[in-house]
Amino acid sequence: MKSKTNTDIGGLAARSKKGPLWQFLDKKDGSFSAPFAEYISRLYFPLMNEAGMKSSVTPELKGDIASSFQHYLTPATGTEELSRNLSSRNVWVTVKGHQAWSATGNSALQKANRWSDKKEASEVEGHIGAFILRRENNEIGISSKITVFVPQTQDFVELMKVQIQNDSTETLHCAVYTATPIFGRHPDNFRDHRQVTTMFQKVYNEKYGTRVKPLIVHDEHGHNINDVNYIVYGFEADGSAPQSVWSSQQDFTGEGGSLDNPEAVFLNKTASDQNAINDGKEAIGAIKYKDIELAPGASVEYVVMHGISNDETTFEGWIKQYGSVQAFDTYLEENLAYWKAISENVAFDTAVDTFDNWARWIAFQLKCRQIFGNSYLPDFGYGRGGRGWRDLWQDLLSIFLVDPSGAQNEILNNFNGIRIDGSNATIIGTKAGEFIADRNNVARSWSDHGAWPVFVVNFYLQQTGDFDLLLQKLPYWKDQFTHRNKETDTLWNASQNFRQKTKKGDEYHGSLLEHMLIQQLSAFYNVGEHNNLLLEGADWNDTLDMAREKGESVCFHNFYSHNFKLIAEMLEALKEQGTVEIQLLSDLLILLDRLPNQQKVDYDDPAERRKRLKQYFDNIKHTVSGAQTSINIDLLINDLKEKSEHIREHIRTNEWIEIDATEGFFNGHYDNLAQPMHGLKKGNIQMDLTSQVMPIMCNVASEEQCSMMHKAVYSVLHDHEKGGLRLCTEFPEPNMNIGRITGFVYGHKEHGSKWMQQNIMFMYGLYQRKMPQLAYPLFKEIMHLSTDSQTNLIFPGLPSYFDPENRGAYAYLTGSAAWMLLSLTTQMFGVRGQKGNLMIHPQLHSEQFTTAGQATITCNFMNKRIKVSYLNPEKASFGSYEIESVRINGKNTPFIREQKDAIIINKTDFIHSCTQEINDIEVKLKNYQ
Ligand code: G1P
């Protein structure tokens, strides 16, 4: 806050009418400041560490603290609870002669004053890795600064530093209190057996604060002994113990009091009975620090520690490690450096400052997804820990850009979750090899799941040239579900170790390539009556979830066509390296029906396709033969190409809907009555964005179809006023032959909101098809929607979607971040691998170049850090520049020209030239027009 006077309040009025919610600070590292942020109700900010500590903070320091889905230190807080619930990390100051004051703004009085002239100035500062809240009380003449972060250690700890300053001209007699209610159990017990589980809790009043350790973890299937402790400790600046502690919430708030009006604070009490037994009561870590006299201009500091551990002896160590201002400051500095490095992994320097800053938050979001999955943060009340199959694959696309070696291990680990019938476990736990069939115990297969791994593996292979990965042998996952979850293997039980066995009882291992093939083949034959992929549980759009028998996904059928082609290309690459034969599970060969000696299937006959699949499924229902057959690589390539072509031609011919000579689009789905969902319905066009994205990205749509589709999408789904594309047109009424999508109010969620992931994938597809003139305007709209904080009312980053008022919803944890980073790096800035060689193909617009004509990306390639600077003195745009020369670390580098603006630097030359910690690659662009 610049001034310490009430004039700052004017800023609030200005903001609510026309000002932005936040502004980037000058540092170019994404840091921002947001005055009066508590006036926006649904804001939150994530804090986390690699060990898995997860917390969220709001401008009032609400938000929860958890170490896992089973272990919440504070009550789990969904978005709606933020304004209903009084639970927060609170800091109180009592000054002789004045009403008690909350430095987080959480007192009944301050809240009531928010809409009067007694409102107070406040400001939030967001740094990647730390959250700061400042507040002023002009009546008393004090101000506060509270900094919260999660240190990057192996501990489940969140730290908070409180600074209180006397801004008045008199000495103030003050007392400071901090108070965090402790929940200490599974979030399900928020309602379920709430009081029963409270009575399990041992509540310890300790020297530095409160420790809660429930005796039992409540589970009616069979209760368990609990090991986990939850603590809230407070420290004077030098690490000494505070004055007194309340561990019972009731004792702190008093009869008739509440968390925003606690009797202890308002009556300036000291906790008298430090030996009181509070077991079985709702707990709080409420701490009173030593009374102080603050001279004018003087300030005082405290540290609060929130922690979770199943070893109570660790707390002594934590007290020494974290419990002082000095320790706090050291860990904070380390933490900010850690996050700076993460957010710089892929960084940009262009003429557009907002873009350079905003991109930092997108890199941060990838880490959020790794740690939070799609649970924990306030908007993600549906999540229950773990990570979903399609999401973790997509995240890998850019995790690979920021952490290549980590990504390779994750790819291999995830392949262990594939079943021999081509379906997969849908939830991946936090530990390697931890899979769950379905989070809600609904046995189902998702038609898109088999498609994502090929896309990711292909990206990995192109970036590294490591084609040997394809031949790596891995096990298959096994449980009772077979036939893509439609049948049960009654011979299986959990003692068989969740691994696919052979008839002899050995664990069966097949190559990574075989795993991918099984997924594609299982999808290829699993078609409905219109000869498209059966929709099953749903596809990427998981709200199309009630067309499980007859529904079809043309949308993802595109993807499988592309995947067959990609696998054929991978095989070509293996062939170039000398591979002549591929070993495959012999049982699988009946699905490779174009091989000699196999009985051909008529692909135009859906029943025949399904019959062949059933034959395979019946054979491998419990065990596989374990035998492998060597197949000539060329014959295999031919088989796959034919399948790819068949799908492509089928979609192009049968699913294309022409509006007129210039506009057209694809039908994307069939419902459970086997009726097409899209096209002209009762005089209105019914259209789905994802179903246009896929044929573009998967090269199913011809070039002409791409332009016609782009036009149709812009005339039907585009928000002409505010920008962005809606995910679909309106379903007029709930339709139980389609799914829950039809029950959402139009404009929300999958039912027609401006869904970022598909906006970005549409943009990605357009760049990939070399149509930057169409992709760039969409990029600008996405960036505008995401950074126009006056309207979107979220902190910087990409949310999952924008609602009808253009408010950002489901912030931070969205697959969009991965697609955005992938698009920016590999398409817009055009830095990507081609079989391990470096391809440079920038598709940049003139306005992205600085006045000096420069645009720069810093990223990783082949384990080297590279800074690629495009030098474009005339500031020419895509389509009018060519690559003139390339210098690596000051020396001219040979390259192969692919086209005017695309070149390839050979892997050997690249590695030879990149000898520095950061390698400067200067690419000169020349205007040829
Ligand atoms: C979310 C889910 C994703 C699902 C999508 C559409 O996407 O995480 O699994 O496919 O909705 O239903 P996101 O918010 O990550 O874009």
pLDDT at 432 over 80: no
**Sequence-ordered list of residues with C-beta below 8 angstroms from that of 912, at least 6 positions apart, any chain:** none
Q: Which of 814, 816, 819, 820 to mutate to test the pocket of ligand 1 (most atoms within 8 A of CB)?
A: 814
Q: Band the pLDDT of 385: cuts 50, 70, 90.
A: confident
Tell me, what's the pLDDT at 4? Answer: 44
Cα of 816 vs centre of ligand 1, distance in Å, is 9
Cα of 753 vs centre of ligand 1, distance in Å, is 13
Please work out, in degrees rounded to the nearest 5, the angle formed at the alpha carbon of residue 627 by the alpha carbons of 624 and 632: 125
Q: Which of 800, 820, 821 to mutate to test the pocket of ligand 1 (most atoms within 8 A of CB)?
A: 800
What kind and span of H or E run contains 110?
Answer: helix 108-112
Q: Check residue 144 and report its DSSP letter.
A: E
Contact 345, 363 (CB under 8 A): yes
pLDDT at 691 over 80: yes
Contact 537, 444 (CB under 8 A): yes
Burial class from Cβ neighbours inside 10 Å (0-12, 13-18, 19+) for residue 307 reads buried
pLDDT at 401 over 90: no
Tell me, what's the pLDDT at 228? Answer: 98
Report the candidate in 389, 390, 372 with the shortest Cα–Cα distance to residue 381: 372
Task: Give the Cα separation of 182 and 178 in Å (integer).
Answer: 13
For residue range 299-335, list pLDDT tens digits in order. 999 999 999 999 999 999 999 999 999 999 999 999 9
Task: Give the Cα separation of 157 and 308 in Å (integer).
Answer: 7
Cα of 912 vs centre of ligand 1, distance in Å, is 42
From the CB of 827, is ligand 1 less than 6 Å away? no
Token pair for 451: 């498609």
Tell me, what's the pLDDT at 382? Answer: 85
In terms of pLDDT, which residue wins out, 437 or 782? Answer: 782
Buried b / exposed e along 192-231 (16+ C-beta atoms within 10 A): ebeeebbebbbbbbbebbbbbbbeebbeeeeeeebebbbb
From the CB of 540, is ligand 1 less than 6 Å away? yes
Task: Give the Cα separation of 247 and 624 in Å (integer).
Answer: 59
pLDDT at 428 over 80: no
The whole-number average pLDDT for the span 231-245 is: 98
From the CB of 800, is ligand 1 less than 6 Å away? yes
Q: Band the pLDDT of 883: cuts 50, 70, 90.
A: very high
Report the candidate in 132, 175, 444, 126 with the shortest Cα–Cα distance to residue 294: 175
Q: Count other Cβ atoms within 10 Å, centred on residue 890.
A: 9
Atom 1 (ligand 1) nearest CA = 814
Task: Give the Cα separation of 664 and 686 in Å (integer).
Answer: 12
Cα of 392 vs centre of ligand 1, distance in Å, is 11
Contact 851, 351 (CB under 8 A): yes
For residue range 646-658, list pLDDT tens digits in order. 999 999 999 999 9
Task: Give the Cα separation of 168 and 101 in Å (integer).
Answer: 15
Cα of 749 vs centre of ligand 1, distance in Å, is 10
Q: Which conformational region is residue 482 in: left (phi greater than 0), alpha (psi within -120 to 50 degrees), or beta?
A: beta
pLDDT at 690 over 90: yes
Q: Band the pLDDT of 531: cuts 50, 70, 90.
A: very high
For residue range 59-88, list pLDDT tens digits in order. 999 999 999 999 999 999 999 999 999 999
pLDDT at 257 over 70: yes
pLDDT at 2 over 80: no
Contact 709, 689 (CB under 8 A): no
**Angle between helix 512-524 and 404-415 (nearest 10):** 60
Q: Count other Cβ atoms within 10 Å, centred on residue 575.
A: 16
Token pair for 713: 């999408």
Lowest mean pLDDT: which of 211-225, 274-288, 433-447, 636-650? 433-447
Q: Ligand 1, closest atom to CA 800?
A: 14
From the CB of 475, is ligand 1 less than 6 Å away? no
Tell me, what's the pLDDT at 5? Answer: 41
The whole-number average pLDDT for the span 92-106 is: 97
Give the HSE-up count for residue 913: Cα atoms under 13 Å, Cβ half-sphere: 23
What one-character-per-residue DSSP string does 732-793 give? SS--TTT-GGGGSPTTBTTBTSEEHHHHHHHHHHHHHTT-HHHHHHHHHHHHHHHH-HHHH-
Tell me, what's the pLDDT at 18? Answer: 60
**What backbone phi and psi angles, to 5 degrees, belong to 301?**
-130, 155
The whole-number average pLDDT for the span 429-436 is: 71
The whole-number average pLDDT for the span 493-522 is: 96
Q: Band the pLDDT of 13: cuts 50, 70, 90.
A: very low
Token pair for 251: 């004792």
From the CB of 77, is ligand 1 less than 6 Å away? no
Q: Band the pLDDT of 140: cuts 50, 70, 90.
A: very high
The whole-number average pLDDT for the span 629-648 is: 98
pTM value is 0.96
From the CB of 753, is ligand 1 less than 6 Å away? no
Distances (CA, A) of 702 to 530, 652, 814: 22, 8, 30
For residue range 587-622, list pLDDT tens digits in order. 999 999 999 999 999 999 999 999 999 999 999 999
Task: Give the Cα separation of 428 and 439 in Å (integer).
Answer: 10
Task: Give the Cα separation of 758 and 752 in Å (integer).
Answer: 11
Cα of 814 vs centre of ligand 1, distance in Å, is 7
Beta bridge partners of 173: 293
What kind and span of H or E run contains 820?
Answer: helix 816-822
What one-character-per-residue DSSP string does 456-519 give? HHHHHHHHH--GGGGG-EEE-B--SEETTTTEE-TT--GGGTTB-BBTTSPBPEEEHHHHHHHH
pLDDT at 53 over 50: yes
Buried b / exposed e along 35-68 (16+ C-beta atoms within 10 A): bbbbbbebbbbbbbbebebbbbbbbbbbbbbbbb
Using only C-alpha atoms, what is the Rg of the chain? 30
For residue range 167-203, list pLDDT tens digits in order. 999 999 999 999 999 999 999 998 889 999 999 999 9
Task: Give the Cα separation of 468 and 835 in Å (integer).
Answer: 12
pLDDT at 811 over 80: yes
Contact 805, 364 (CB under 8 A): no
Cα of 49 vs centre of ligand 1, distance in Å, is 24
Beta bridge partners of 664: 658
pLDDT at 7 over 70: no
Q: Count other Cβ atoms within 10 Å, centred on residue 73.
A: 28
Cα of 70 vs centre of ligand 1, distance in Å, is 24
pLDDT at 461 over 90: yes
Cα of 498 vs centre of ligand 1, distance in Å, is 28
Contact 57, 148 (CB under 8 A): yes
- Looking only at the bridges linking them, the beta strands covering 854-861 and 347-349 are antiparallel
Task: Give the Cα separation of 794 and 333 in Å (integer).
Answer: 26
What one-character-per-residue DSSP string does 863-921 give? TEEEEEEEE-TT-PPTTSEEEEEEEETTEE---EEEETTEEEE-HHHHHHH--SSSEEE
Scanning 254-388, the segments in alpha helix (DSSP H) are 263-266, 314-322, 325-344, 353-372
Average pLDDT, the chain: 95
Cα of 370 vs centre of ligand 1, distance in Å, is 15
Atom 9 (ligand 1) nearest CA = 391
Tell me, what's the pLDDT at 399? Answer: 76
Burial class from Cβ neighbours inside 10 Å (0-12, 13-18, 19+) for residue 86 reads middle
pLDDT at 381 over 90: no
Q: Ligand 1, closest atom to CA 390?
A: 9
Q: Which of 391, 669, 786 to mutate to test the pocket of ligand 1 (most atoms within 8 A of CB)?
A: 391
**What backbone phi and psi angles, to 5 degrees, belong to 424?**
-155, 165
